[in-house]
């Protein structure tokens, strides 16, 4: 069975050494600047040079963007906090990913089979007439000229604008929800309360639950502790799949750099030698997780066996991304790698085996993951299944539910319900969306996005900054291209993609022609091949972006 949660790109990039923007060549960075400068003109009416100047910050995360002037720096929705400053398309999130290998093979040679209809080109007022400064008061996402509130599209206007695109036969069965991000009020619905298979848009709920319960500063800890015997050391996994065997990049940011197994070996060896210990038996402890390690839809490429201890998401090649072949036992592999690192530091290591650490074990050393805020950005931008399941299990740990697929899904659902999200008939069986048995109504997805955009919940902002940008980052990098009928919205849509066999979904945010921030969710089942259906969904998003719809 082929399952996937990505965008259909044949270009797969992944930052191995740091959860942060990849460093680009001057020539490649220039191409991004040229394209994003054009986007800046179209959205803000600002001079292209200003957009390009801001884009020179392309090695910095969204939250650290320094803009060239207040007039060209604004947060969409005022208090929403979603940075649509000049050049932010290049800074949407630190990860650029693409299609998983299994899906790429299935989709090879596929192209949109129906001729796309011309789509309207979104026209924008200048930024100063549309957006408020970050600290301004008023409804989120709704600033207009002279402090006026940008008008909200009407239900009638949206129905008229979207009728033709929603009726495209290539979509198969399609349901949709469009809501005002400032208020969460439903503006347009077509089957919006009917549960549908969400695929990777499930990750939006997983991310919001984790940030709600744990906070963006939470980190996942991997420890080396003393075992029951004097010569025993136990490597204790805390559930960090980004733990890496690779060397730490020079000058890496501690908020974004993955925890290093080499650093843990350095610290452990130093502590043991200080205590006069030079020969050990090594155990490894995966007891932080319960239940089966294999996802019910495990295929060996889209997700590794889910263990509390793994390095580089269980990939056989820690630097590889195009074919994500995984170890059958990631925990054993990580422990063997740790043993080899300790040997390289002058210790004798024998008997690598599963063990449970004593309850009050003395800690020798520890390393910690990037902050949860950065992990959430990564899992959304790259549609990272391994990381999504790990983050869901962190929710389960905090909620004191079983730390398993079902336990984590229950903890996520309970957390969202307590946060006031009307979940309706939502059903969850995992945190990644690989399960075909998950069911989420489109209106629930727009409720989640509106919650993440709420001025009352700044802790959820990483959900917004992690959403891929159309035509530029993550799983939307190779969409909204010329010839699809959706290129007019490149850089204007930020959305999470979702793909399984016969299922295609898209949920995110867009600013309409009048400057109103809208949340949307589109969920298609059946229809044409995946690339054709995705292009049709993208054309619907273009209609929303181009619409004043009153």
Active-site residue, 482 included: no
Strand 503-511 to 493-500 pairing: antiparallel
Euclidean distance between CA atoms 333 and 315, whole angstroms: 10
C-alpha separations of 1 from 100, 159, 301, 329, 436 in Å: 14, 38, 11, 21, 12
Burial of 425 (0-12, 13-18, 19+ CB in 10 A): exposed
List the catalytic residue out of 4, 119, 132, 203. Answer: 203
What Rg value do the Cα atoms of the chain yield, rounded? 23
Cα angle 411, 414, 419 (rounded to 5 degrees) comes to: 125
Spot the catalytic one: 119, 383, 404, 435: 383
- Round to whole Å and give the CA distance between 196 and 502: 12
Task: State residue 511 phi and psi, 5-degree precision.
Answer: -95, 125
Query: Residues 498, 504: contact at Cβ < 8 Å?
Result: yes
The answer to whether 385 and 393 have CB atoms below 8 angstroms apart is no
Beta pairing class for 503-511 and 279-285: unpaired
- The Cα 261–Cα 265 span in angstroms is 6
What whole-number distance in Å separates Cα of residue 289 and Cα of residue 309? 9
Closest CA to 107 of 537, 499, 525, 536: 499
Determine the Cα–Cα distance for residues 420 and 212; give it in Å rounded to an integer: 11
Active-site option among 20, 200, 369, 435: 200
Using CA atoms, how far apart are residues 433 and 411, in angstroms rounded to an integer? 15
Separation of alpha carbons 95 and 234, rounded Å: 33
* Class of residue 1 by CB neighbours under 10 A (exposed 0-12, middle 13-18, buried 19+): exposed
Return the H-helix or E-strand segment holding 368. strand 363-368
* HEC secondary structure over 231-250: CEEEEECCCCCCCECCCCCC
3-state secondary structure at position 414: helix
Q: Any catalytic annotation for residue 404?
A: no
DSSP H or E stretch at residue 334 = helix 330-343
Annotated active-site residue 203? The verdict is yes
Reduced to 3 states (helix: H, G, I; strand: E, B; else coil), residue 497 is strand
Phi-psi region of 468 (alpha: psi -120 to 50; beta: other; left: phi over 0): beta
Distance CA 355, CA 284 (A): 5
Q: Where are the beta strands (DSSP E) in 265-319?
A: 279-285
3-state class (DSSP) for residue 308: coil
What would the DSSP string read from start to end of 192-260? TTS-B--GGGHHHHHHHHHHHHH-TT---EEEEEE-SSTTEEEEE--S-TT-BSSPPPTT--TTTSPPB
- Tell me which residues are annotated as active site: 200, 203, 383
């Amino acid at each position: 069975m082929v399952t996937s949660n990505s965008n259909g790109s044949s270009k797969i990039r992944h930052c191995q050494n740091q959860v942060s923007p990849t460093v680009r060549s001057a020539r490649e960075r220039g191409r991004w600047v040229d394209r994003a400068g054009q986007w800046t003109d179209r959205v803000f009416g600002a001079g292209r040079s200003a957009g390009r100047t801001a884009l020179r910050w392309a090695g910095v995360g969204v939250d650290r963007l320094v803009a060239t002037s207040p007039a060209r720096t604004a947060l969409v929705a005022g208090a929403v906090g979603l940075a649509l400053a000049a050049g932010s398309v290049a800074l949407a999130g630190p990860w650029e990913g693409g299609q998983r290998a299994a899906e790429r093979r299935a989709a090879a040679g596929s192209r949109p089979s129906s001729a796309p209809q011309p789509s309207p080109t979104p026209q924008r007022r200048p930024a100063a007439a549309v957006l408020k400064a970050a600290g301004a008061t008023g409804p989120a996402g709704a600033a207009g000229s002279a402090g006026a509130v940008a008008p909200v599209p009407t239900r009638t206007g949206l129905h008229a604008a979207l009728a033709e695109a929603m009726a495209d036969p290539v979509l198969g069965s399609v349901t949709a929800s469009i809501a005002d991000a400032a208020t969460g009020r439903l503006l347009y619905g077509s089957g919006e309360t009917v549960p549908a298979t969400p695929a990777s848009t499930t990750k939006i709920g997983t991310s919001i639950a984790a940030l709600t319960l744990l906070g963006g500063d939470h980190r996942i800890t991997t420890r080396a502790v003393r075992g029951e015997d004097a010569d025993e050391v136990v490597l204790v996994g805390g559930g960090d799949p980004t733990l890496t065997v690779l060397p730490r990049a020079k000058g890496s940011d501690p908020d974004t750099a993955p925890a290093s197994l080499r650093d843990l070996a350095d610290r452990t060896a130093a502590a043991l030698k200080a205590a006069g210990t030079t020969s050990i038996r090594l155990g490894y402890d995966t007891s932080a997780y319960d239940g089966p390690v294999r996802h019910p839809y495990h295929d060996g490429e889209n997700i590794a066996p889910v263990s509390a201890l793994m390095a580089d998401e269980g990939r056989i090649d820690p630097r590889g991304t195009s074919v994500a072949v995984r170890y059958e036992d990631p925990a054993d592999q990580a422990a063997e790698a740790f043993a080899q690192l300790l040997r390289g530091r002058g210790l004798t290591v024998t008997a690598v085996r599963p063990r449970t650490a004593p309850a009050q074990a003395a800690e020798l050393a520890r390393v910690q993951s990037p902050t949860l805020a950065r992990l959430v950005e990564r899992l959304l931008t790259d549609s990272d299944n391994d990381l999504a399941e790990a983050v869901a299990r962190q929710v389960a740990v905090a909620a004191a539910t079983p730390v398993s697929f079902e336990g984590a899904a229950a903890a996520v659902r309970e957390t969202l319900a307590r946060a006031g999200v009307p979940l309706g008939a939502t059903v969850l069986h995992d945190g990644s969306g690989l399960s075909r048995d998950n069911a989420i109504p489109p209106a629930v997805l727009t409720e989640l996005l509106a919650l993440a955009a709420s001025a009352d919940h700044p802790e959820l902002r990483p959900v917004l900054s992690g959403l891929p940008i159309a035509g530029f980052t993550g799983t939307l990098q190779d969409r909204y291209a010329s010839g699809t009928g959706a290129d007019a919205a490149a850089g204007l849509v930020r959305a999470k993609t979702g793909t399984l066999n016969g299922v295609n979904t898209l949920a995110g945010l867009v600013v309409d022609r009048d400057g109103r921030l809208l949340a949307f969710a589109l969920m298609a089942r059946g229809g044409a091949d995946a690339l054709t259906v995705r292009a049709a969904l993208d054309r619907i998003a273009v209609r929303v972006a181009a619409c004043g719809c009153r």
